[in-house]
Amino acid sequence: MFADYTMTELTSIFAMQGFAGLSLFSIFVLMALGLAIIFGQMGVINMAHGEFMILGAYTTYLTAQVFESLMPGLYGGYFFVAMFLAFVVTFALGALVEWLMIRHLYHRPLDTLLATWGLSLILQQTYRSVFGAREVGVSLPDWMMGSIAVTDLVEIPINGIFVMVLALLIAFAVYLLMYRSGWGRKVRAVVQNRPMAEAVGIDSGRVDRVTFALGCGIAGVAGSAFTMIGSTGPTSGQLYIVDTFLVVVFGGAQSLLGTIASAFTISQAQSTMEFFLSGSMAKVLTLLVVVGILMLRPQGLFAMKVRR
Amino acid sequence: MKLSKTQPSTHRTSRRSSWTRRHLLGGLMALPALFALSNTALADAANTTGLAVTDDTVKVGILHSITGTMAISETGSVQAEKLAIEQINAAGGVLGRQIEYIQEDGASDWPTFAEKSRKLLVRDKVAAVFGCWTSASRKAVLPVFEQHNGMLYYPTFYEGLEQSPNVIYTGQEATQQILASIDWLAEEKGAKTFYLLGSDYIWPRTSNKIARKHIDKLGLKVVGEEYYPLGHTQFNSVINKIKLKKPDVIFASVVGGSNVAFYKQMKAAGIDLTQEKPLLLTISVTEDEILGIGGENVEGAYASMKYFQSLGNDNNQAFVKAFKERWGDDIVIGDVTQAAYLGPWLWKAAVEKAGSFDIEKVQAASPGIELTTAPEGYVRIHENHHLWSKARIGQAQADGQYKLIYETEELMEPDPFPKGYQ
């Protein structure tokens, strides 16, 4: 296995694979945070999560178009505007969907699953009608492409670093919101004991709406970031949804820390195995391990006790 | 039957009366048919098997995914087939009949393809179907076409290992795409080592099997072979492996959305394809896919196809112009789109040679049919129902088009069951 490589090459392999694992980790964190908030805090299985991500990606695409034609001078910085807009748009749609659909379906997890799956199909077809069935190409400002060469073999992609920093920032912001703000305290109160939270005067309906919308907003930012590394098409969201659920379920639904730990475990396992085995085999082995662990520990890696 | 035995006799009489009523109705309904008989007599010579052919129209089917994940790829084929049908109609139709098409949506779901093809053949009695894209959808409809004896014109380049009297394959089978390109890489680019990379399903695996055999035959070396699940979005590991193994050529058959991730990540990892270290040759990225990938990310890559939008011949100039007039200026035309465009024209030529729409006669007339007006230049149908066509290599430009670099002098013979490659 290692015999084909020299010592310096081996060092480089581990350095590069470590980095590949880390960038996969940050992608998983970005994908899963929004879902973890919705699924973990509200018990809603949002099958349309991928479509919210792609809405963010399309917003980025449109912003790029606008900047390119109207303000070419500012093109280098369009991405930050695009991410902000992606958040706003998906947050708004999330709030609307919660108000129209989700709030009527609380305590009926299977129905929300079906309803959000239907929503995902509706959104896909809407994208197809508006943007066309073909994928759109989102071009990046020049400074975001390319890489920093550390040695001959080790090169670190700039957009990888960008995604990593973004994931850290968002994870930190979510942590502040959930554990250091009044609103977060309300959310946690509603999760732990809804009737009691309502009894002390928390408007649980409003908390639900903002939580759902926030989860969707984070999905939008993730989708915006993914235009750097992946495709933007009507069905691209489907590419991410399985991995996202895997990360959230494996981590333990109620725990944000669990989500991060599980994203780290799965990404490192996946990228290390990918190097020595084929891509498909690595995926199979990762899934096997996850299934095995979930059989022993159905509540996931980190679980929190809540009153149902 | 069992039920009627236990029925009281009164019910029988009532049934008898309805019988006579039905007779009467039947007789009435036959009247217009009698009047129409003089009309259909004409159609009969060209149509002895009850296809949907009248004196001035003939029905055909278009069966592609316009919803679901494959819609991305199949849209171009639908546009090409409609354009060809409209052009044929404008030029007077087929045997004096205008073509009417019935479009069905396969919805990226293989059982749906089978069901819709049965509907087209049994209920609509179409004279030909232009459709399918993935091998999986073709395999799903094949038994239906063979059972109900229909004609399918299939546009996609595919893995070969199939030949049916009911299908005309207007795209390349694997050897037509692969052998010439590897020869070219070895001769022109001095390639010695190859890294085979594809999505994990039958077409890339079969293609790479043929590629590997041919590489061995030339005395060259495969240094890596790797497959990723469909829809995979993380290629950092394989890019690292490629950097370590330093192959002369990456031979890529990644499909769908994965392509976008792969090329963007290659570029981000500092592999500049215009440097040709390593050189990349793809058999899966047409102008259509470049739209999603972005020309700047794939610039410098080579593709082995039979058609590029940029081909300079007169047929193609006219075709591109007509296509853009019909479907919009910013549209691009890929290899499969052109192959789909050939379908209706080849069918028309076969029907006119046979003097009939009958499936058997069209099948018998098909081998040897040639098309001098094909955008790719000239094609001819082989006895094995595939097309003789040239293999071409183009290099991707930043504007998303391919520049023609090389083409075989002769037409390549289609060989769906290549000896020594299986």
Q: With 50 as the cut, is the pLDDT of residue A54 above it? A: yes
B401 and B256 share one domain = yes
Contact A231 B75 (CB under 8 A): no
- Which among A24, A137, A229 has CB closest to B291? A137
Residues B204 and B85 in one domain: no
Q: What is the pLDDT of residues A263-273, one digit of tens each?
A: 998 888 888 88
Give the three-state DSSP class for A74: helix
- The per-residue pLDDT for B142 is 96
DSSP state of A142: G
For B251, the enclosing helix (H) or strand (E) is: strand B249-253
Cβ contact A147–B257 (<8 Å): no
Q: Which residues in B160-238 belong to E strands, given as ranges?
A: 167-169, 193-199, 221-228
Residues of A in contact with B69 (CB under 8 A): 235, 238
> Do B249 and B271 meet the contact criterion of CB atoms below 8 Å apart?
no
- B residues 236-295 closer than 8 Å to A (CB): 236-238, 240-241, 243-244, 257-261, 264-265, 267-270, 288, 290-295
Residue A229 to residue B292, Cβ atoms within 8 A? no
Supply the pLDDT for residue B138: 95
Query: Chain B residues with CB inside 8 Å of A9's CB?
Result: 244
User: What local confidence, expressed as pLDDT, does residue A2 receive?
Assistant: 58
Domain residues for B76?
Answer: 57-172+312-389
Helix, strand, coil percentages in chain B from 3-state DSSP, rounded to 5: 45, 20, 35
Report DSSP state, residue B65.
-
Mutation for testing the B interface, residue in A228, A231, A240 having most B CBs under 10 Å: A231
Beta carbons of B273 and B280 less than 8 angstroms apart: yes
Q: Which residues contact B168 (CB under 8 A, 6 or more apart)?
A: B151, B152, B153, B154, B343, B346, B347, B366, B381, B385
Distance in Å from the first CA to the final CA of chain A: 50
Q: What is the pLDDT of residue A304?
A: 61
Kindly give, in sequence order, each residue whose CB lies less than 8 Å from that of residue B329, ignoring residues fewer than 6 positions away: none
Determine, for residues B257 and A134 on separate chains, whether the beta-carbon distance falls below 8 Å.
Answer: no
Q: Do A157 and B292 touch (CB under 8 A)?
A: no
Contacts of A232 in chain B (CB under 8 A): 260, 292
Answer yes or no: is A62 within a domain.
yes
What would the pLDDT profile of B200-229 be if each residue is shown by its tens digit? 888 899 999 999 999 999 999 999 999 988
| pLDDT tens digits, A197-240 | 999 999 988 999 999 999 999 999 999 988 888 888 888 888 78
Which of chain A's residues have a Cβ under 8 Å away from the Cβ of B257?
Answer: 135, 230-231, 233, 235-236, 239
pLDDT at B158: 92
Mean local confidence (pLDDT), A136-156: 77
Q: Which residues pair with A271 in a beta bridge?
A: none
* ipTM given for this complex: 0.78
Determine whether the interchain pair A230/B244 forms a contact, defined as Cβ–Cβ distance below 8 Å.
no
* pLDDT value for A4: 66
Examine residue A47 and state whether it is found in any structural domain, yes or no. Answer: yes
Q: Which of the two residues, A20 and B316, has the higher pLDDT score?
A: B316
Which residues of chain A neighbour B288 with C-beta distances below 8 Å?
134
pLDDT at A305: 58
Cβ-contact B339, B136 below 8 angstroms: no
Q: Which residues of chain B have pLDDT under 70?
A: 1-44, 422
pLDDT at residue number B44: 67
In terms of DSSP H, where are the helices of B101-172? 110-118, 135-147
**Strand partners of residue B370:** B380
> Within this chain, do residues B291 and B384 fall inside the same structural domain, yes or no?
no
Domain with residue B131: its CATH number is 3.40.50.2300
Clarify whether residues B220 and B143 are in a common domain: no
Q: Please tell me which of the candidates A149, A153, A235 has its beta carbon nearest to residue B69.
A: A235
Whether A143 maps to a domain, the answer reads yes
- Distance between CA B109 and CA B89 in Å, rounded? 31
- If asked whether residues B189 and B271 sit together in one domain, one would say yes
Mean pLDDT along residues A108-133: 88
pLDDT on residue B66 = 85
Report the amino acid identity of residue A46.
N
How far is residue A147's CA from residue A149's CA, in Å, rounded to a whole number? Answer: 6
Tell whether B295 and B248 lie within a shared domain. yes
R_g of chain A, CA atoms, integer Å: 20
Average pLDDT over residues A102-130: 89
What does the alpha-carbon distance between residue B268 and residue A155 come to, in Å, rounded to a whole number? 9
Q: Nearest residue of B to residue A284 by CA position?
A: B229
Cross-chain CB nearest to A134 (options B75, B228, B231) = B75
Question: Could you tell me if B263 and B192 lie in one domain?
Answer: yes
The Cα B375–Cα B317 span in angstroms is 8
B199 touches chain A (CB under 8 A): no
Average of per-residue pLDDT across A85-103: 94
DSSP string, B263-319: HHHHHHTT--GGGTTTEEEESS--HHHHHHH-HHHHTT-EEEES--TT--SHHHHHH
Together in a domain, B254 and B398 = yes
B403 within 8 A of B394, measured Cβ to Cβ: yes
Give the domain extent around A118.
22-235
Predicted confidence at residue A172, as pLDDT, reads: 92
HSE toward the beta carbon, residue A255, CA cutoff 13 A? 18
Which chain A positions have a beta carbon within 8 Å of B68's beta carbon?
235
Sheet holding B152-154: strands in order across?
A: B98-105, B57-64, B129-131, B152-154, B167-169
B234: left (phi over 0), alpha (psi -120 to 50) or beta: beta
Which positions in chain A touch B292 (Cβ < 8 Å)?
A: 134-137, 231-233
**Are B263 and B403 members of one domain?**
yes
**A13 vs B244, B261, B293: nearest CB:** B244
Q: How far apart are CA A282 and CA A285, in angstroms?
A: 5
Record the pTM: 0.81
CA distance B15 to B9: 10
- pLDDT at B2 (0 to 100): 42
B392-396 vs B302-305, strand pairing mode: antiparallel
Q: How confident is the model at residue A36 (pLDDT cuts 50, 70, 90)?
A: confident
Residues B230 and B348 in one domain: no
A236 to B238: CB separation less than 8 angstroms, yes or no: no
Bridge partners of residue B304, in order along the sequence: B393
CB contact under 8 Å between B264 and A149, yes or no, is no
DSSP state of B92: T
* pLDDT at residue B43, as a whole number: 52
Q: What is the pLDDT of residue B225?
A: 92
* Residue A226 falls inside a structural domain: yes
Residue A44's pLDDT band (cuts 50, 70, 90): confident
Domain count, chain B: 2
For chain A, percent of residues with pLDDT exceeding 90 = 28
Q: How many domains does chain A have?
A: 1
Same domain, B401 and B292: yes
Token pair in block for residue A282: 């690595």
